[in-house]
Structure 1
């Protein structure tokens, strides 16, 4: 991906989807927790509106910030931050409800469409990688059928996982080529999808291909600095009354909301299983582990334009990236992302990612 400082950016040769008459792309800001995505989203919305005269509004792409009342533990934008730029898909679910990626995809795409109809540029902000991709990428969520799944699981018990995988190789060799033959659960799921849809499972795997013309900006940060920010955020959660929030929310948390990082640790403290100090130390440790996983997830996507979070001129460079995307400068190479991801999983990918982080 060319950096915004390239003298001769790639000229677009067309894209799979139209960005509309304005050419304005949806912006998606991604990166690990505590890297400053919320702040950049607000600052970028203001800067783009000032530069283009086009209003921007933020669409939340964090799985747990959609739940009402889960404010401190999810680092939800504050009332003051929301007053600066309009936010959407915050506080839109009761904590007893079940949020899924498929449901979020419907909600996010409807929200994006409504904003674009009003002439507003949507800016997605969130660290939930699959949620961020589901909003703008070629990702479908095949149906399930408990009876079909149960029958296939019984069959796997009778004939063994390898025989089931052999059947998958016969029916969908492309899917089998990218799957672990020892993962019988995934093999069963693939065969279930094939039976329910009549289509190869491989045809429904996620693609690095925008269905909504977009540009992604990633925030990177040295590990030591990110760890310090996570420690500071965890202490801030404690100071702001996270324990009281868990006491208030605990009776109302459904099975999905209860998985939000930090809530179980505080519940364990309340139940006397650990001290308060131990609970918050465990939250910080798990948050750092989550940040590593997030970078691994986002690092696989070659379309992301990486910027150093603490660098001077961060907002200005983000604006330049968006303007290049609006002009179609990245379309040609973005359209090849699937091929690139499949064939460059080692040093070439790392080199390209590092080059873009430094750009």
Structure 2
């Protein structure tokens, strides 16, 4: 078991987590471990704001470019990959905004099995009846799970109903708790909302300039449209609709900005619910000093 805490850098997209994690790693002799579900995909570089080799500044980065774009993301698979890394690195620094992935790394989060026949039956029902009706059914069986899952999120609704059917227990019993497996210090980067909205628009503009449309076109040749998870990623889903002639490029850009802002709000509310996250102002002139104080406090 670890005695030194795992450090996690969390918060909404465009808050500056990746660069800050590198600064921390250089200060502490640490190594970065990706906790962004979309940065696990090979070739999804521009649209996920993946640091290039120069931007990593010599700091080892783990769990980038693991999956092909046709693979469906699996937080259970991520947990299997991340735990041995955490145990083998002296100063592991988790970095990313995928809240469930951070929790899968740090907390006592278990993943019930799956049954292809039950899953297929529920997916057929979803296709026939739609997510709203399935969500109502989930509410009747497990109100707590229904509260936590958005009514439009058909994939998670199906998973919850599958677990209930297979285990005979509420899906909410398997949902993340705050029971930690490792000691950890979670540092959240806090950005005032108007500034975050501006930063998101600027980031999307830079992605477009860097060649996001060409990146998506290239990935479509590698099967991106068949990837259940990757094809729905922010920016990628919108550019696909432009390339398929459904939207203009201007619409795809505007929708990417809008969807990313909405996503950032969801990320923030997820991390705000976790009482263990210590929030630091992203633009503090002594951000590293503040982080150092928090880490020192955690050690005593």
Aligned equivalent of 2:65, options 91, 95, 106 = 91
Counterparts in 2 of 1:106 and 1:270: CA distance versus 1, 3 Å: same
Name 1:79's counterpart in structure 2: 53
Q: 2:11 aligned with 1:31, yes or no?
A: yes
On the 8 A contact 2:5/2:185 being kept in 1, the answer is yes
Q: Secondary structure at the match of 1:94?
A: coil
Distance 1:146 1:68, change over 3 A: closer
Closer, same or farther: CA 189–288 of 1 in aligned 2, 3 Å:
closer
Three-state SS of the structure 1 residue aligned to 2:37 is coil
Q: Which of residues 240, 248, 252 is equivalent to 1:275?
A: 248
The within-5 A match list for 1:179-218 is 193=163, 196-197=166-167, 203-218=173-188
Q: Which residue of 2 aligns with 1:289?
A: 262
1:73-123 per-residue CA deviation (whole Å, 9 max, x = no partner) reads 1100111122431100001111122221111111111221222xxxx2100
2:271 counterpart residue number:
298
Equivalent positions of 1:177-256 (< 5 A) are 193=163, 196-197=166-167, 203-252=173-222, 253=224, 254-256=227-229
Question: Cα gap change, 1:326/1:187 in structure 2, threshold over 3 Å: closer, same or farther?
Answer: same
- CA distance in 2 between counterparts of 1:139 and 1:313 reads 34
| Residues 188/68 of structure 1: CA separation in 2 closer, same or farther (3 Å cut) | closer
Question: Which residues of structure 2 form unaligned runs of 5+?
Answer: none
SS in 2 for 1:305: strand
**Helix, strand or coil for the counterpart of 1:285?**
helix
SS of 1:65 mapped into structure 2:
helix
Going from structure 1 to structure 2, the CA distance change for 1:109 and 1:276 (only over 3 Å counts) comes to same
In structure 2, C-alpha distance between the alignment counterparts of 1:239 and 1:188, rounded to whole Å: 38
Give SS of 2:72's match.
coil
TM-score, normalising length: structure 1: 0.70
2:290 corresponding residue in structure 1 = 317
Is residue 2–residue 87 contact of structure 2 (8 Å, CA) maintained in 1? no
Q: Distance in 2 between matches of 1:234 and 1:63?
A: 18
State the match for 2:231 in structure 1: 258
Question: Following the alignment from structure 2 to structure 1, what is the Cα–Cα distance between the partners of residues 157 and 240?
Answer: 36
Structure possessing the higher radius of gyration over alpha carbons: 1
Partner of 2:113: 143
Maintained 8 Å contact 1:47/1:319: no
Unaligned 5+ segments in structure 1 are 1-17, 49-54, 169-174, 328-359
Is the 2:138–2:146 contact (alpha carbons within 8 Å) kept by the matching residues of 1? Answer: no
Per-residue CA distance 1:195-242 (angstroms, 9 max, x = gap): 645767554332112111111010111111111111111111011111
Write the distance in 1 (CA, Å) between the matches of 2:143 and 2:232: 31
- When the two chains are superposed, the root-mean-square deviation of aligned CA atoms in Å is 2.9
Q: Secondary structure at the match of 2:48?
A: coil
SS at match of 2:178: strand
- Residue 348 of structure 1 is matched in structure 2 by none
